[in-house]
Structure 1
Amino acid sequence: MKEYDIAVIGGGPAGMMAAYAASQNSSDVVLLEKNSRLGRKLLITGGGRCNITNNKPIKKLLNSYSQKNFLKHSFYTFTNEDLFSFFNLEFCEEDDNRVFPKSGKSSDLLKVISDKLQDVDVIYNFEVESISQDFVINDKLKARKIIIATGGITYPQTGCGPEGYYLTSQPVTDIKYGLVPLITKKDLSSIAGVTLYDVVISYKKSRVRGNVLFSHVGLTGPGVINLSNEISESISYNLLENENADLNFEIAIDLIPELSREELREKFTKDFQLKGKTMLKNYLKLFLTNSFIDFFLDEIGLDSEIQLANVNKKAKNRLIENLKRFAFEITGFNKDLSKVTIGGVDLSNVSSKTLESTLIPGLYFAGEVLDLHGPTGGYNLKIAFSTGYLAGLSAGQK
């Protein structure tokens, strides 16, 4: 039976980084990957461009996570500057501090990190089915320490699955969909592809400002995707027990967040008198995406070609109310497009300083298999790379 110092399970971003970091202090590291190649999920992130991280200052970056106290040591151990130095490629920073390789190719990143695994034994098509108490894996090889970096449960086509949660007796929280589009009761195929820019989306007391994109089956876009985390966390379900979350709720969009209802009322009163012959649909071009106006007016029962002078008080109130709160009934998550997993290995049983289990000495965790997640925009790959590095560094120390 082959014996290793350290075995890393999972060849995604966290697992590859963990294997690299471990190999800097140990000459006997193996990386076990169930697929025939490494980094399948890395290749499709950011639409194939790979939003590698978010370049906010580190304190502001940490404040973007509900688990910021746990992540602090990982982020300071392997900073964005360390990440850029590690890859040594040209990067560009886009809106909202999102960072991409200048080439626009995630494959460039995968090549760099793969090339740095020259001192690591990589075994492909190796699906870990069991780990004994003395760290024998599949009755085939043995390790002194093990790092589990099997990812979450979403994107099963890349090899992700629930296996990592069952390999040890480590407690696991409820597992849910994260960063997931929403399915609406209303058929939106007539406005599929239309984007609403810089609106406010609300669910109960939660509010997120961002863009909304209409799809054939519902709502997506950064604003909706980020709000979906809070929605998913507020609903009681567990993907390890049942795939179907019982959904029947409403979200609302403030289409003109920069103006209050009273400010809109004052503006409409003035404009409707001055521009009385203007058709309503043409006037609304001041506020709404042109391709959305007819749908909006049809939904609230107003004639798109009515002149402003003929809009009565009741219709004006209806217009204002829906501009400030345009509601959609939600019936499901578009689960096939869920970007991350909410939940995972319970953080209360893992050291934030080393990512070693406090229950099973020699067992470490990294990446999405942990109960860690962030918003869209490079935040989740940042978790993967920084926790992967810290887990590998800690396990590799003698």
Structure 2
Amino acid sequence: MEEYDIAVIGGGPAGMMAAIAASRNSSKVVLLEKNPKLGRKLLMTGGGRCNITNRKPIKKLLNFYPQKNFLKHSFYTLTNEKLLSFFEEKGLSFIEEDDNRIFPETEKSSDILNILIDYLDDVTIRYDFEVKSIVENFIINDEIKAGKIIIATGGATYPQTGCSIENYTLTSHPLTDIRYGLVPLITKKDLSDIAGITLYDVIASYGKSKTKGNVLFSHVGLTGPGIINLSNEISEDINYNLLENDNPEIDVEIAIDLCPDFTRENLQDKFTIDFQAKGKTMVKNYLRLFLTSNFIDFFLDEINIDGETQLSRIDKKSKNRLIENLKRFTFEITAFNKNLAKVTIGGINLDDVNPKTMESSLTPNLYFAGEVLDLHGPTGGYNLKIAFSTGYLAGLSASEK
């Protein structure tokens, strides 16, 4: 039987970073990965460009997480500066885009992965190794014995990358409900005719929750940053658990403010002036001031207004309907597009994990890192930040104990 000081289960960003941090203190470390290669999900992040982190100051960054108090110590242990220098030492540079999103200058996720693998020189890696049992004294599959174990098996989404509901059953640790996160939404209305159209910088709302960003129409529904961030609120508001039901029924309404730079009063005043001054202009042409042109016909059909009607012939009722729908254009949501969920909401209950070490408070020498924990953030580099920081802290803590 092979013996190691530390066994890390899961070869994603959290697991790789945990193994790297653990091996730096001369611990004998093995990294167990069920796939034939490491970092499958990492290669898919940021559309293959790898949005590695978000460069907001830590105090401001933490406010974007529901679990900010738990994350504080790990974020200060592996700061963004420390994380980026980790890759810069290997010659990789970074660029910053809107909303403080950080990408490798090469815009290749593979460059991030290759550097991580390079740092794993002192780590034994076992590929195609699916952990099926962990018994007393940390014996894994009757093949490997470890003094400590770090579980970094990821969440339940993107099963093609190795993520699975079964990953949560490796220990008897209490779990919160497992849900889809950052997931596109399926609409009751068939949107095939406008698939591919993007609405830029609009505000999507659900109940009291609002997100600003681009909204993209797909054949089956809505996606884009403005939608998938809002999807977390919807998912958490619905009573379901993926351990019991992976296709929850949804019956909610979301609204899109198509003109966030105008109040209703502003639109009312502008319409009053423009409808008189531009009376011969057809309404579908006038709406180009507010909407992308290839969306206008769909919009007018939905609110039952003839686009070829001249502004001077629009009655008061129709004008008010235009204003109301420009500010609140609604869609009925019937399901999550579950195969495209980016993260998992829920996981190992944080009440049973020490945030200063990532060690279990129930089982000594057992640690957790990354998405397997009940941790998540919005899109924009926030979730990879969780993976790297908690992985680093778990590896460091396990090797120093």
Q: What is the TM-score with the length of structure 2 in the denominator?
A: 0.98
| SS of equivalent to 2:69 | helix
Match of 1:97 in 2: 100
Between stretches 150-159 and 18-27, larger displacement belongs to 18-27
Match of 2:8 in 1: 8
Match of 2:64 in 1: 64
> How many angstroms apart in 2 are the aligned matches of 1:70 and 1:8?
21
Deviations 1:362-387 (CA, angstroms, capped at 9, x unpaired): 00000000000000000000000000
Deviations 1:182-224 (CA, angstroms, capped at 9, x unpaired): 0001011111111111111111111111111000100000000
Deviations 1:113-171 (CA, angstroms, capped at 9, x unpaired): 10111111100010001111211101111101000000001000111112221111111
Match of 2:249 in 1: 246
The yes-or-no answer on 1:381 pairing with 2:369 is no
> How many angstroms apart in 2 are the aligned matches of 1:368 and 1:41?
12
Whichever residue aligns with residue 255 of structure 1, its letter is L
| SS of equivalent to 1:4 | strand
Whichever residue aligns with residue 140 of structure 2, its letter is I
Deviation at 1:246, TM superposition (A): 1.4
The yes-or-no answer on 1:50 pairing with 2:50 is yes
Deviation at 1:272, TM superposition (A): 0.2
Deviation at 1:26, TM superposition (A): 3.2
Match of 2:367 in 1: 364
Deviations 1:243-292 (CA, angstroms, capped at 9, x unpaired): 11110111111111222212211110111001101110111111111111
Match of 2:340 among 330, 337, 348: 337
Preserved CA contact (<8 Å) 2:180 2:345: yes
Whichever residue aligns with residue 134 of structure 2, its letter is I
Preserved CA contact (<8 Å) 2:6 2:27: no
The yes-or-no answer on 1:219 pairing with 2:222 is yes
> How many angstroms apart in 1 are the aligned matches of 2:102 and 2:238?
32
> How many angstroms apart in 1 are the aligned matches of 2:136 and 2:242?
27
Unmatched 5+ stretches in structure 1 = none
Deviation at 1:349, TM superposition (A): 0.4
Match of 2:174 among 167, 171, 174: 171
Match of 2:110 in 1: 107
Match of 2:306 among 303, 308, 324: 303
> How many angstroms apart in 2 are the aligned matches of 1:170 and 1:246?
28
The residue correspondences of 1:218-297 to structure 2 (distance < 5 A) are: 218-297=221-300
Whichever residue aligns with residue 9 of structure 1, its letter is I
Aligned-pair Cα RMSD in Å: 0.8
Unmatched 5+ stretches in structure 2 = none
Match of 1:84 in 2: 84
Whichever residue aligns with residue 18 of structure 2, its letter is A
> How many angstroms apart in 1 are the aligned matches of 2:11 and 2:83?
18
Between stretches 130-139 and 147-156, larger displacement belongs to 130-139
Deviations 1:76-106 (CA, angstroms, capped at 9, x unpaired): 0001111111111111011111111111111
Preserved CA contact (<8 Å) 1:180 1:339: yes
| SS of equivalent to 2:135 | coil
| SS of equivalent to 2:134 | coil
| SS of equivalent to 1:50 | coil
Match of 1:141 among 129, 135, 144: 144
> How many angstroms apart in 2 are the aligned matches of 1:95 and 1:296?
29
> How many angstroms apart in 1 are the aligned matches of 2:302 and 2:198?
17
Match of 1:73 in 2: 73
Whichever residue aligns with residue 138 of structure 1, its letter is N
Taking every aligned residue pair, what percent have the same amino acid on both sides? 74
Deviant stretches of 4+, over 4 Å: none
